[in-house]
Amino acid sequence: MENPAEAFFGGMLIEIFIACILYGITTLQTFIYWQKYQNDVPSLKFMVAGIWILETVHTAFCMQVVYAYLISNFGAFEKFLDINWGVGITVIVEVVISTLVQAFYVKRVWIMSNKAKLLTGFIGFVTVCRIGFGIGSTILSYHYPEWVEFRAHKSSLVTVSGGLGAAALVDVLVALTLSFYLTRGRSTWQKGSNSKVNLIMLYAVNSGAITASASVLSVILYATQTHSLVFLGLVEIQGKLYANSFLGSLNARSHIRNKNTAAQYPSFEFSNSSGFRAVAPPVPKVEVFQQTVVTNDMGEQETDFGMKNLKGGELV
């Protein structure tokens, strides 16, 4: 006889393990951020701390869901049909995390596009729609007590597919917009900055592609794997991907800024007014010490020390 737990919960169990590993990476990235970027604006520090706290809560309730299905109701396979109360909490916390991260990227679009209201407004609208669909899915998870009933209603399909689809659309739009404006801005920077611009573009496209692919795959699994919770496990992973994408973009600043330091490149820093600004690294100074030894007629030596400050590039 086939074990019902394997087909129903096996895939999600593995995905929860992966989510816990990603939570460990999130914690590590948070620690690195607090060690390296202590001069960031307070609002950004609060956001980093808030996302880590939300990730901790999200991971705890993911473990609660696994414990309830596999330990508390061990052997009671009929309990697999019930929607555990912790599922709704994990969904709404994941929505909050993804919304915060996407709002951070939308702000980048606002700055890079020179405050293009129509473009930024549209991306912001889709982000708000994502919040609405997420809240709808959470409410329905408490309204319908069983998974069979939950999946049988079209409203559930609309909220789940609509929320994940909106998240994927925002990720794609943000990645394409940032890539477009970074490419167009090359002409205003020095030629040596191309490698750094390419690195920023690569990160933006990759992070957007990963989270968007997770959203699309979750919709496909929800529609096809009707007797499994594998789609839900991927949704839990998606929240971890957003958190690590956000923290990775912050921690990568020093790496990008220090790449090919021999040339002068623009870099992004945070300021209290706009949040971002393009700056060039300071011109290095070289101190040259000169020692002159003079021997007079008496055979005595006189030593003269001199010092000159040179700007970078003057010492040939």
Q: Which pLDDT tens digit goes with each residue over 146-166?
A: 998 998 888 999 999 999 999
Largest separation between any pair of C-alpha atoms in the chain: 110
Mean pLDDT of 223-241: 90
The pLDDT of residue 187:
58
Please determine, for residue 255, whether its predicted confidence score (pLDDT) is greater than 90: no
pLDDT band at 225 (very low <50, low <70, confident <90, very high): confident
Please determine, for residue 31, whether its predicted confidence score (pLDDT) is greater than 70: yes
- Among the ranges given (47-61, 132-146, 182-196), the one the predictor scored with the smallest mean pLDDT: 182-196
Please determine, for residue 271, whether its predicted confidence score (pLDDT) is greater than 70: no
Those residues whose C-beta lies under 8 Å from the C-beta of residue 94, and which sit 6 or more positions away, are: 58, 134, 235, 236, 238, 239
Helix ranges restricted to H, the chain = 4-36, 42-67, 85-112, 117-143, 147-152, 154-184, 194-224, 230-257
* Burial class of residue 289 (count of CB atoms within 10 Å of its CB; 0-12, 13-18, 19+): exposed
Tokens of 92: 């709404």
The pLDDT of residue 234:
92
Alpha-carbon dihedral sign for residues 49, 218, 106, 276: positive
Report the alpha-carbon distance of residue 88 to residue 134 in Å, rounded. 10
Report the alpha-carbon distance of residue 2 to residue 33 in Å, rounded. 48
Q: Name the residue type at position 52.
A: W
**Which range scores top for mean pLDDT: 12-21, 70-79, 146-155?**
12-21
Residue 292's DSSP bridge partners are 304
Mean pLDDT of 30-34: 95
Report the alpha-carbon distance of residue 292 to residue 185 in Å, rounded. 50
SS (H, E, C) 112-141: HCCCCHHHHHHHHHHHHHHHHHHHHHHHHH
- Could you tell me if 150 and 156 are in contact, meaning their C-beta atoms sit under 8 angstroms apart? yes
pLDDT band at 185 (very low <50, low <70, confident <90, very high): low
The pLDDT of residue 243:
94
Mean pLDDT of the chain: 81
The pLDDT of residue 284:
52
Please determine, for residue 77, whether its predicted confidence score (pLDDT) is greater than 80: no
- pTM of the predicted model as reported, rounded to 2 decimal places: 0.77
Return the higher-pLDDT residue of 242 and 195. 242
- DSSP state letters, 24-74: HHHHHHHHHHHHH-TTS-HHHHHHHHHHHHHHHHHHHHHHHHHHIIIIITT
The pLDDT of residue 307:
46
The pLDDT of residue 227:
84
Backbone angles phi, psi at 5, to 5 degrees: -65, -35
Report the alpha-carbon distance of residue 55 to residue 90 in Å, rounded. 10
